[in-house]
Structure 1
Amino acid sequence: MRRFHRMPFGAETTPEGIHFALWAPTARDIHLVLDGTESPMERDGNGWYRLTAPEARPGSRYSYRVDGALTVPDPASRFQPDNVHGQSLVIDPKAYAWSDSDWAGRPWEETVLYEVHVGTATPEGTYAGLVGRLEAFRNLGITAIELMPLGAFAGRRNWGYDGVLPFAPAAAYGSPEDLKQLVESAHELGLMIFLDVVYNHFGPSGNYLHAYAEPFFTDRHRTPWGAGINVDGDGSRTVRDFFIHNALYWLEEYHFDGLRFDAVHAIADDSRPHFIEELSTRIRDTFPGREIHLVLENEANEARWLGRDAAGHPRLHTAQWADDIHNAWHALLTGEREGYYADYAEKPVVHLSRALAEGFAYQGEPSEHAGGKPRGEPSSHLPPTAFVSFLQNHDQIGNRAFGERLSHLVQPARLSLARSLHLLAPQVPLLFMGEEWAASTPFLYFVDFESEPDLGQAVREGRRGEFARFEAFADPETSLRIPDPTDCSTFMRSKLDWAEIGGSPHRNALSETRRLLSLRRMEIIPLLKSELHGAHRAPPSASMIDVTWSFTTGQLRLVANFGDTVSVRKSDAAARVVWSSPGVTLNGENLTLPSWTGAILKGPPI
């Protein structure tokens, strides 16, 4: 089977030769540079430059000369074999023969996500190296691999969010064929594979769009990265199509099962339909027969994108990363209260309880971190599977000054409790690579701007400046200890050490994770496949969580005591304990929970 996504831009194989198309509305003149030879391109009235080159073929190298001066890569390049400043490579997607034509995906309720950074997940740091780990992930109980962004970036290493050519899988990890083999290998093992995509900004090196397509950006909307992406002004139709086709491209040409959309709250759109709505609608309409899962990262807590139809299927997006669940857990486990943890530090258990029962902890309440502005929308009507929960991910580890994991910050018994409740709660769980064995390696923020020393220096200074407002870094000497993100050693320190799995305490953590995921498969997922009739939580408490979800096929109850004294809760006589911490007992109708323990119970449907 051959797979190919047709786009209005880029390089496309046709019977007449390779057709090249570039949207350059603010350029006076564009020449195609093909294997060292320049040819003028024809402009139409809408800012498009086009040319069909009979002599071009797959493997040809090409770029565009703008106004007789600047030479730039194709923004829709399918591959950059050298670097993001160099020439693009003509790729024939139909040259790869797929053998997974019977694969249609898996139901969302079965999802257990495993977030992976390709460059640091294996010693090889490649797509091919990751193929060798897939069977172990499957045997652990993982059902879906989520790759951090792959868009081509400057240099040979990047944590993923500085991509500038979103159609070109990073050459540092292998070829397009290698990536397709990774996807196909995952499907052979029954694993879904997701991709994290970034549509809110471009990285600081290698983005040339401003030089010939000024309407791609707008000063009407400002973002943490500068001018916003123009999805609602003059010229925005082409900009919207650029990203919509990018999503369709990964789902069709690379056969990914789902996408995670990075920080959509930073995509400002005053038009209708909102870009987020059009994006999901186009995807749903294009792949009606496949299990396609669309996940948002949205700090704004907008429940509007997560609604279900009468049959319980997502109308637009499948789920959202549950930041509230993570932030409440983190504040509870670590006691940290700076930055966005300030919104959770006073009542972490109350926030966690509400987020578990209703999806968002903040549903319109004022956020201290946001200067008192209201945050969020009502979400109690949504099922728990509309939320991807996590104790850790690339952001909350990589954005720490020293890249510490929870296993570096929290005593093992308390982390074990959190891990158990996380993996057995009805939300869709995510593990960050190495979390399953409490990996000792950090995950640091790293980039490679060796060829641009001024940019590298700006990144180093900016990194230290980010933490200057935190109390722990008030001392300049402490600030100087922050790892240099441009140093290769920072990247190397972030690589997982698979050899440690066999030793203590990693072996025990891995065994515990495997057992919990087996319990999830047997006990939790069957409930999630039936209709949710509602969730109920006990009155807010500073130390207790007691949430019950009612499904057609039964009830699921999560109880946890984070107080200093023993707590006794009443239990339905028909309920049984699926999992509990050591020391928890069920005697008749009395469920006794010592300090910092929990239990998961199942009962018959009401």
Structure 2
Amino acid sequence: MRCKHSMPFGAELAAGGGVDFRLWAPAAERAELAFYPGLAGRPVFVAAEADKDGWWSCHVDEATAGTLYQWRIDEDLLVPDPASRQNPRGVNSPSAVVDPLQFEWDPTWTGRPWRETVLYEMHVGAFTPEGTFDAAAGRLKQLADLGVTAVELMPIADFPGRFGWGYDGVLPYAPKSEYGTPDELKHFVQQAHRLGLMVFLDVVYNHFGPQGNYLPRYAPQFFSATHDSPWGKAINFDGEGSRTVRDFFIHNALYWVQEYRFDGLRLDAVHAIVDDGSPHFLEELSSAVRTATHGRHVHLVLENEHNGYHHLAPQPRPGRFDAQWNDDFHHALHVSLTGETRAYYHDYGDEPLGQLARSLAHGMLYEGSPRKPGGAREDVRAAPAQPLTTLVNFAHNHDQVGNRAFGERLSELVPSEARELPTLLALLTPAIPMLFFGEEQGASEPFLYFADWDGELREAVRAGRLREFGPLAGADAGKPLPDACSIDTFETSRPDAANGDRCAGRRWREMVQAALHARRDHITPRQGQLLHGQHTSQRVGATGINVQWRYDDGQMLSLELNLGPELLEVPEEHLGPVEARLVFSHRWGDAPRGTWPAWAARWTLGGEVTL
């Protein structure tokens, strides 16, 4: 099976030979294609013709797969193709024509249902010493054996520099050249499928990066004349010219799920996508993906700081999304274990254990309301209960670890006896769980913010981080702030895979594997029976939480949790039934009934208990 997504943008191999090239450049007075007949030498310029809507097009008989090309705008500026399928020499260099049909796919894979999802967020460049798709593919079996069912790649759309998180991409269709070729990415996806793993991709549709973005010069309609974003002018989804802009990003989503056979997309920071039109861009994108992938399990996930749960649906529906990241669970858990209440943890400082208990039973805690400059919400409003399968719970992710001054993982910030609990609490609820790479072996290495900027932007990033973290670093840590633009910072963020074979790392892996096997056997098969809005939770003593998740057959999954350093005496009304089956326990030992050991948790499955 061979797969190709046809689109109105970019370079397409023509049926009769040669290549057709198209560029939307409504602000250009003249556009020419510069193609390179050989691997070196000067380009040959071919005049392009424009239509009334600003589309420039030409055909080059001599071009073929592998041909390098650029666009020259107004006889002055050479730019890459914004819909380039590959930019082998970086984002400021020529694009390459790609033949998508040269890769042969296995025809049998159709994905896995959402209820089976166990996500593993991965930065390709930091996952292995080589930092490539091929090297990452060689370690996929370890993840499958662990019980992971879906790998989620942080953004791979080509961005400037040798290293970075990927959220400042400028060529949304071109895989990062340092990671590998388009076919090497397809091999990674195919290898995952052969192991029963889905592959998700993190995509950024809310802004372009500040370097290597030439669109304002010849297509300023890509940017809103009325809306702003945290990164400057917002993408234009509702103004003049927005139809082409919307198509550019919708085709991008279709390109990844059709041409590369990705099983899901995670849309970054959709609260920064402003669209006053109808249908909303997110609704249109979801409908397009659902229609184009009928017969496959393809999942759509959001990051939404405003907790816009109206975008979600517990079953696949055109216009809706399967789930979104549940920051409220993470923040309540973090504050409960560390006591930190700075920045966006501010709203969770009032009775954090109670907020954690509510999040475990009801999902999101707050709705709407943007954040003030200091991080707190402008208007704290309680969110109603959501279907728990529409939420992704995690103890770690790239933001929550990497946006700290020193990139510490939560497991490194809590008492040593509590290190494993955040991971276990994320894995063993009816919500969809996610691990952050390295977490499966209890990695102690940080994950820092890194970006290979140069020039004025490099100095601006350094100065900005010193303003934000400098006093904190000096007062609390007594060590210099890592330089985000240093390759050493990038290298420091790579977990040592060898730690997984050492005693402590091996114990962590065994614990995670056992937890995921318990999830597979006791939680996943019952996801379709999960009731909505009928789950409950209680505070128990000073450090305890009791949670009851209910199913339509009268069964109940219960969690008994002590997040404290002392043995907890528990009243009878908070104890589960004696005959309940044990699903999983941690540090519980042979504690007598009526007591919960320090830093311990136990999950059981049995009949309803009247509390």
The answer to whether the superposition gives a TM-score over 0.5 is: yes
What are the ranges of 5 or more consecutive residues in structure 2 without an aligned counterpart?
A: 37-42
> Taking structure 1 as reference, are residues 503 and 172 closer, same or farther at Cα in structure 2, changes over 3 Å only?
same
Task: State whether structure 2 residue 580 is matched by structure 1 residue 575.
Answer: yes
The letter for the 2-side match of 1:374 is D
> Taking structure 1 as reference, are residues 376 and 112 closer, same or farther at Cα in structure 2, changes over 3 Å only?
farther
* 2-structure distance, mates of 1:122, 1:492: 10
Cα displacement (A) at 1:354: 1.5
Structure 1 match to 2:407: 403
* 2-structure distance, mates of 1:173, 1:324: 33
Match runs of 1:141-540 below 5 Å: 141-308=147-314, 316-363=320-367, 373-374=378-379, 378-380=383-385, 382-449=386-453, 452-467=454-469, 472-473=472-473, 481-539=480-538
* 1-structure distance, mates of 2:331, 2:11: 44
The letter for the 1-side match of 2:576 is S
What is the SS of the residue equivalent to 1:538?
strand
Cα displacement (A) at 1:305: 0.5
What is the SS of the residue equivalent to 1:525?
helix
Compare 543-552 and 230-239 and name the one that shifted more: 543-552
Cα displacement (A) at 1:539: 4.6
Compare 501-510 and 388-397 and name the one that shifted more: 501-510
Cα displacement (A) at 1:203: 1.2
Compare 519-528 and 290-299 and name the one that shifted more: 519-528
Structure 1 match to 2:57: 50
Match for residue 96 of structure 2 among 89, 93, 96: 89
> Taking structure 1 as reference, are residues 595 and 109 closer, same or farther at Cα in structure 2, changes over 3 Å only?
same
What is the SS of the residue equivalent to 2:277?
coil
Describe the superposition over 1:310-339 as per-residue Cα deviations: whole angstroms up to 9, x where unpaired.
xx8686100000100011111111211111
Structure 1 match to 2:601: 598
CA contact (8 A) 2:591 2:597 kept: no
CA contact (8 A) 1:138 1:191 kept: yes
Structure 1 match to 2:81: 74
* 2-structure distance, mates of 1:49, 1:496: 47
The letter for the 2-side match of 1:5 is H
* 2-structure distance, mates of 1:377, 1:53: 59
Describe the superposition over 1:450-489 as per-residue Cα deviations: whole angstroms up to 9, x where unpaired.
xx32222122112222325xx62465995x8111111111
Cα displacement (A) at 1:591: 4.7
* 2-structure distance, mates of 1:326, 1:526: 25
The letter for the 2-side match of 1:358 is H
* 1-structure distance, mates of 2:376, 2:154: 31
* 1-structure distance, mates of 2:283, 2:327: 21
CA contact (8 A) 1:300 1:376 kept: no
CA contact (8 A) 2:401 2:448 kept: yes
Cα displacement (A) at 1:356: 1.4
CA contact (8 A) 2:70 2:94 kept: yes
TM-score by length of 2: 0.93
Cα displacement (A) at 1:397: 1.1
Compare 149-158 and 592-601 and name the one that shifted more: 592-601
Cα displacement (A) at 1:586: 7.8
* 1-structure distance, mates of 2:583, 2:140: 28
CA contact (8 A) 1:301 1:376 kept: no
* 2-structure distance, mates of 1:102, 1:400: 43
Structure 2 match to 1:549: 549
What is the SS of the residue equivalent to 1:429?
strand
> Taking structure 1 as reference, are residues 585 and 489 closer, same or farther at Cα in structure 2, changes over 3 Å only?
same
Compare 16-25 and 567-576 and name the one that shifted more: 567-576
* 2-structure distance, mates of 1:215, 1:573: 66
Structure 1 match to 2:39: none
> Taking structure 1 as reference, are residues 122 and 372 closer, same or farther at Cα in structure 2, changes over 3 Å only?
closer
Aligned CA-pair RMSD: 2.2
CA contact (8 A) 1:584 1:597 kept: no
Cα displacement (A) at 1:290: 0.8
CA contact (8 A) 2:393 2:431 kept: yes
Compare 248-257 and 282-291 and name the one that shifted more: 282-291
CA contact (8 A) 1:148 1:195 kept: yes
* 2-structure distance, mates of 1:476, 1:406: 17
Describe the superposition over 1:326-385 as per-residue Cα deviations: whole angstroms up to 9, x where unpaired.
1111111121111101111222111111111111111468978666523567441x3211
What is the SS of the residue equivalent to 1:260?
strand
CA contact (8 A) 1:552 1:605 kept: no
CA contact (8 A) 1:533 1:552 kept: no
The letter for the 1-side match of 2:192 is A
> Taking structure 1 as reference, are residues 357 and 50 closer, same or farther at Cα in structure 2, changes over 3 Å only?
same
CA contact (8 A) 1:259 1:295 kept: yes
* 2-structure distance, mates of 1:365, 1:233: 25
> Taking structure 1 as reference, are residues 179 and 277 closer, same or farther at Cα in structure 2, changes over 3 Å only?
same
What are the ranges of 5 or more consecutive residues in structure 1 without an aligned counterpart?
A: none
Cα displacement (A) at 1:101: 1.0
What is the SS of the residue equivalent to 2:239?
coil
CA contact (8 A) 1:551 1:605 kept: no
* 2-structure distance, mates of 1:515, 1:364: 38
Compare 340-349 and 146-155 and name the one that shifted more: 340-349
CA contact (8 A) 1:584 1:599 kept: no
* 1-structure distance, mates of 2:418, 2:115: 27
Task: State whether structure 2 residue 36 is matched by structure 1 residue 30.
Answer: no
Cα displacement (A) at 1:215: 0.9
What is the SS of the residue equivalent to 2:583?
strand
Cα displacement (A) at 1:117: 0.4
Cα displacement (A) at 1:418: 2.6
* 1-structure distance, mates of 2:6, 2:422: 46
Cα displacement (A) at 1:67: 0.8
